[in-house]
A and B are shown apart, each in its own frame.
Chain A
Amino acid sequence: MTLAPITLHGDLVTLEPLTPAHIEPLAEVGLHSSLWALQPRSVTSCADMAAYVDQALGEQALGVSLPFAVIYRPSGAVVGSTRFMDIALPHRRLEIGATWYTPRFQRSGVNVECKLLLLTHAFEQLSIQKVVLKTEVLNERSRKAILALGAREEGTFAKQLIADNGRKRDMVYFAIFDEMWAEVKRHLRDRLVRGGQRRPKSLTS
C-alpha cells in the first residue's frame, strides 16, 4: 500500500502535495546558503531547486516519501518544504524530515503548526507507531527544535550518511511514539496559543 498525496489544512499553514509548479516559488525563498550548509546537497540556483523537487517526487513515485510545500495562508506564499520520508507502513513507522523554511519564517510558529499537522495525520490517520526525526550532530538549532517538540533522543549514529560533497554526517535520532502523542499534541497546541499571543503583528501581513 502506497500513501496518496494529501493536503493538510491548518490555521497558519497549508501543506500541499509538492509539484513541479512549486519549483519557482521555492527558489524565490529557498536559495539562502544558511539553509543548506548541513544538508546533503546545496541548492543555489533555480536549476538546483528543480533537481531537488524532482528527486523528492521520484521518492514519492517509489512510495518512500510524501513531500509537501508549506504555504503561509495569510499571504498565500510558499515558505518552505517538508516531507514524510522513509515510510515503512508494515512497521508503522515513518520519518518527518527534509524540513526547511525561509529565514523570515523561522521561529514564527510555522514549524510548530506543520509538525502538529504532520504528526496528527501520522498518528491519527495512518496509525503510525513511531515517528522518527533526525538531524546532524552539528545542527544545534535543529536538535533544540526537535527536543522542544517533546521528542525523545534515541541516540547518535556516527558516519551514518555522506553528503554530496563527500562530507560525513553523524546523525542524532529522535522519536515520538504513539503512546507519547496525546501529551505532545497538547504541548504543541499550547505552544501555538502562547506563540500567537507573543507574535509580532508584522508577520500577519
Chain B
Amino acid sequence: MWISRWRSWLAFAAADGPFYRSPCHGQTVISPAPVTLGGHNVSLEPLELAHVRALGAAAADGKLWELWFTAVPAPDETATYVADALRGQQAGHMLPWAVRELTTNSVVGSTRFHDIIPNSDRVEIGYTWYAARWQRSHVNTACKLLLLEHAFDTLGCQVVGLRTDNFNLVSQRAIAALGAHKDGVIRHHQARRNGTVRDSVMYSILRAEWPDVKRHLLTRLEQHGSHMSSA
C-alpha cells in the first residue's frame, strides 16, 4: 500500500506541478494572438517594423523618452524597441500594438498585453504611452475599453493586471481612475533604463469587476465626446 501511494504521488508530481491546467484536460486557457481592434475613433494595429518612423514621431511630441521612470524609446532606439516587442510576441508572453487615432489617421502611441499567463487566464496591459498632444484626451479611455473588451469578452480572461513605477504618479492616478484595484507594491522589483531599480505598484481588474469598469469607461467617453462637441 505504501509503495502504490508513493507511485501515485510521483505521477502527480510529474504532471508539471499541481496547478498546471493543460488544455488536454478539457479546460480551455486563453490564447491571445495578434489582431486589429477598432472602435471609438481609435484603431489598435498589431505592432510591426513599418510603425517605427511613426512611433518615433509620436514619442518626439513631448520628448517622452526623457521621463526617467518610463520605457519610451529615444528616436534612434525605436527600431530596437519594436524588434524587442516582436520577439516577446514570438515567445508568446507579449502582444504589442500601435495606436492609431482615426480622425487624424496618425499613429499616436503604443500599448501592449504583456506578462501573458495562459494558465491563469491573465494578461497585463502596459508599455502604454501617447504623444503629448493626445494625453488627457479620449485616446487612452478608448484604448483601455478596446483592450479590456478583448481581454474579458473575447479571450475570456479572468483578470487583467496593470503595473507602474512607484514614482509615476500620473500613471498611478490614471490606473486608479479606471477603477482598478491596487494590489500592492513589490519592492526593488524591476530595473529601469537608467540602472536603478523600481518599486512596482501593482493593480488588477477581476472579471466580476469588468461590467462596472466598462460602464464607467463608456460614460467617460461620452463626456469626452460632449466636451469636444461643445468646444
Contact = CB atoms under 8 A, between A and B. Distances in A.
B185 A183 contact: no
A66 B132 CA distance: 43
Contacts of B187: 152
A183 B196 contact: yes
B185 A150 contact: no
Interface string A166-205: 0000000000000000110011000000000000000000
B169 interface: yes
B182 to A, nearest CB: 10
B169 A148 contact: yes
Given A183-B167, A187-B167, A152 B68 contact: no
Contacts of A54: none
B115 interface: no
Contacts of A152: 166, 185, 187, 199
A150 to B, nearest CB: 5
B16 to A, nearest CB: 36
Contacts of A148: 169
A150 B68 contact: no
Contacts of B199: 152
A16 interface: no
A148 B172 CA distance: 10
Nearest to B201: A147
Contacts of A186: 68
Nearest to B198: A183
Interface in B46-72: 68
Contacts of A153: 185
A152 B167 CA distance: 11
B36 to A, nearest CB: 36
Nearest to B68: A186
A28 B202 CA distance: 43
Contacts of A182: 196
Contacts of A150: 166-167
B136 to A, nearest CB: 13
B150 to A, nearest CB: 31
A148 B199 CA distance: 13
Contacts of B169: 148
A148 B169 CA distance: 7
A152 B201 CA distance: 11
Interface string A72-102: 0000000000000000000000000000000
- Which residue of B166, B187, B199 has the most chain A CB atoms within 10 A of its CB atom? B166
Contacts of B196: 182-183
A186 B199 CA distance: 15
A129 B21 CA distance: 47
Contacts of B68: 186
Interface of B: 68, 166-167, 169, 185, 187, 196, 199
Interface of A: 148, 150, 152-153, 182-183, 186-187
Shortest 6 CB-CB distances between A and B: which pairs? A187-B167, A150-B167, A148-B169, A150-B166, A183-B196, A183-B167
13 contacts: A148-B169, A150-B166, A150-B167, A152-B166, A152-B185, A152-B187, A152-B199, A153-B185, A182-B196, A183-B167, A183-B196, A186-B68, A187-B167
Given A150-B166, A182-B196, A187-B167, 10 more contacts: A148-B169, A150-B167, A152-B166, A152-B185, A152-B187, A152-B199, A153-B185, A183-B167, A183-B196, A186-B68
